[in-house]
Amino acid sequence: MRICAFLLFLFVLSCNSVDKSKSELERWQVQAKDVTIIRDHYGVPHIYGKTDADAVFGLLYAQCEDDFNRVEQNYIWATGRLAEVEGEQALYSDLRANLFMTEDEAKAYYNNSPEWLKELCQAFADGINYYLHTHPEVKPRLLTRFEPWMPMYFSEGSIGGDIERVSTRKLRTFYEGQLELQPHNAVAAVHNDVESEPAGSNGIAISGKLTESGNPILLINPHTSFFFRGEVHAVSEEGLNAYGAVTWGQFFIYQGFNEKTGWMHTSTYTDVIDEFEEDIMDLNDKLVYKYDDEYRTVESRPIILKYVENDTLKEREFTMHKTHHGPITHSNNGKWVSTAMMWEPSKALEQSFVRTKQSDYDGFRKMMDIRTNSSNNTVYADNSGNIAYFHGNFIPKRDESYNYSEAVDGSNSETDWQGLHTVDESITLLNPENGWIQNCNSTPYTAAAQFSPKKDDYPNYMSIDRENFRGVHAIDLLHKATDFTVENVIDLAHDPYLPAFAELIPGLVKAYDAHPSEFSRLKDPVEELRKWDFKTSKSSVAMTLAHYYG
């Protein structure tokens, strides 16, 4: 009788599983009928859906058609499961991901999100899972099923995001209990074996008063490898109509435009991450840390991470530690150090999607009040003639008597973040009189020539005042040009002149001329550089020489 009951239980369980699977497949098929994907002659997908969720469903399906491997890889990395496919050397990337958010925490963020955002997250998962269902020949490396909480790990679209600034080398040193860091050069040698993703971008907004058509022009010039992001157009009957670049596996257009507004991101130099040296002690077999005149309990919890070795999945257990500042990521001179950064994934995901549907400056400006776009500056233009610039977005308030370029004393409450700066308190520009705005990962204090923000008006931590030669070049070109058109702005973006070498090479030539006999073997390359016009081209020998010199 017990055996019969057990078999009946298994049968019911099996039927429920089949029914659930059938129900899920039917849901995917119903939603797929409300989605149309049309590819233009460049292969760019134009996705049309009745609802925003339909558009997201189709967007993820189309991304998987283009490059499922990259979609999957981004989530293997983001969710902290990289070692399961790449081996033990990736364990500390996985530990880093879990220090800032475990799977259970990601699920909680998802469950507490607004209903409309949960619908988009569900559509994200359904779009990928339906693709895998309809493409059985595609064999995932690890993730055979995607879940709606996964986007919480990957919510704003920049290269790697803020978490990449946390050193896995230091994590390993701390969590393996080593007293000394590895020599920096040895680590750099490992990194140099892998071609790194290009970093940085150029954004330019030009007012209609300087254009031939009278309409503003926005140049979106990201510096990424050719396949780093896909190009898409997503449309719904709920007001979505955006075109631009999408990082693989994300359901919002990271930088691009709709019919009324355009937005471009450059990596920011705003200080958005801080380190706090904690005064830790063992009190009755419990870890505590000093905070003013009290002792608070260190949050410690175990985690088991998996890694592959010789085709066998193995496990390693770590104990993660956290204070109210953030997780413990390394140590300085024997003191544990916690790292604080923006970590509000639901709000960040909300801001990333809402950005794509704004119809005017007022709406865009209100969207910026969410203040979770921590790793980017934003260059903006709209069809009403406005151009604008936002330097950073998530900017913690700090006591300027402390040096936050180094780890500060976490036991002193005065070093704590004191909320966030409002957007109005941040470095911004709106319709400067010169008629253009540029940012090339350079100082914001030259963004609009003489009409740029003034450094003395802002705390030092809001930006490094550091110019680069891309910024110098952009300013020079924008000063000289008039009657801008889309075509000549594209030409401007590809201008071959290299002002950095105009500064560097004459000194090299002068040094050679002072001692020609000592460097006779350099005669031919120096002569090539001497006659160079500092412009790059496919056939420029001088450019190749200068590249390896500079």
| DSSP alpha helix (H) spans, 83-206 | 83-86, 91-100, 103-111, 115-134, 168-175, 184-192
CATH for 240: 3.60.20.10
User: Helices 52-78 and 115-134, interaxial angle, to 10°?
Assistant: 80
- H/E segment holding residue 296: strand 294-297
- Whether residues 488 and 503 share a domain: the answer is no
User: Does some domain include residue 398?
Assistant: yes
C-alpha separations of 131 from 125, 143, 399, 417 in Å? 10, 13, 51, 44
**490 pLDDT higher than 60:** yes
The dihedrals phi and psi of 178, each to the nearest 5 degrees, come to: -75, 145
User: Does some domain include residue 426?
Assistant: yes
Structure token digits, residue 514: 């002072």
pLDDT digits (tens, 9 = 90+) for 156-169: 766 567 898 999 99
pLDDT digits (tens, 9 = 90+) for 166-222: 999 999 999 988 433 333 333 333 333 334 565 678 999 999 999 999 999 999 998
% of the chain exceeding 90 in pLDDT:
84
- Whether residues 406 and 520 share a domain: the answer is no
Structure token digits, residue 227: 């396949």
Sign of dihedral through CA atoms 45, 242, 107, 10? negative
3-state secondary structure of 270: coil
Q: Are 169 and 452 in contact (CB under 8 A)?
A: no
User: Helices 115-134 and 2-33, interaxial angle, to 10°?
Assistant: 100
Map tokens 């909320």 to a residue.
419
Q: Are 231 and 44 in contact (CB under 8 A)?
A: yes
User: Does some domain include residue 265?
Assistant: yes
CA–CA separation, 516 and 527 (whole Å): 11
DSSP label of 471 = H
- Whether residues 435 and 371 share a domain: the answer is yes
- Whether residues 394 and 507 share a domain: the answer is no
- Whether residues 398 and 517 share a domain: the answer is no
Question: In terms of Cα–Cα distance, which of 119, 148, 138 is closest to 65?
Answer: 138
The answer, as to whether pTM is greater than 0.85, is yes
Interval 333-357 mean pLDDT: 96
**543 pLDDT higher than 90:** yes
Structurally, the chain folds into a number of domains equal to 2
Interval 335-348 mean pLDDT: 96
**22 pLDDT higher than 90:** no
- Whether residues 251 and 365 share a domain: the answer is yes
User: Does some domain include residue 114?
Assistant: no
**500 pLDDT higher than 70:** yes
**227 pLDDT higher than 90:** no
Mean pLDDT rounded to a whole number for the chain: 91
- Whether residues 436 and 542 share a domain: the answer is no
User: Does some domain include residue 113?
Assistant: no
User: Does some domain include residue 167?
Assistant: no
Interval 395-415 mean pLDDT: 97
Structure token digits, residue 186: 């040895």
User: Does some domain include residue 10?
Assistant: no
Question: In terms of Cα–Cα distance, which of 48, 252, 235, 253 is closest to 244?
Answer: 253
CA–CA separation, 524 and 512 (whole Å): 11
- Whether residues 463 and 542 share a domain: the answer is no
- Whether residues 384 and 516 share a domain: the answer is no
What Rg, from alpha-carbon coordinates, does the chain have?
26
**228 pLDDT higher than 80:** yes
- Whether residues 359 and 447 share a domain: the answer is yes
pLDDT digits (tens, 9 = 90+) for 83-134: 999 999 999 999 999 999 999 999 999 999 999 999 999 999 999 999 999 9
DSSP readout, 48-69?
EESSHHHHHHHHHHHHHHHHHH
- Whether residues 503 and 464 share a domain: the answer is no
CA–CA separation, 261 and 485 (whole Å): 18
User: Does some domain include residue 287?
Assistant: no
Full domain range(s) for residue 241: 206-230+234-272+343-493
- pLDDT for the residue 432: 98
- Whether residues 256 and 348 share a domain: the answer is yes
Map tokens 């050069």 to a residue.
185
CA–CA separation, 313 and 20 (whole Å): 30
The residue from 476, 493, 510 where one domain ends is 493
**16 pLDDT higher than 70:** no
Residue 350 burial (10 A CB sphere; 0-12, 13-18, 19+): buried
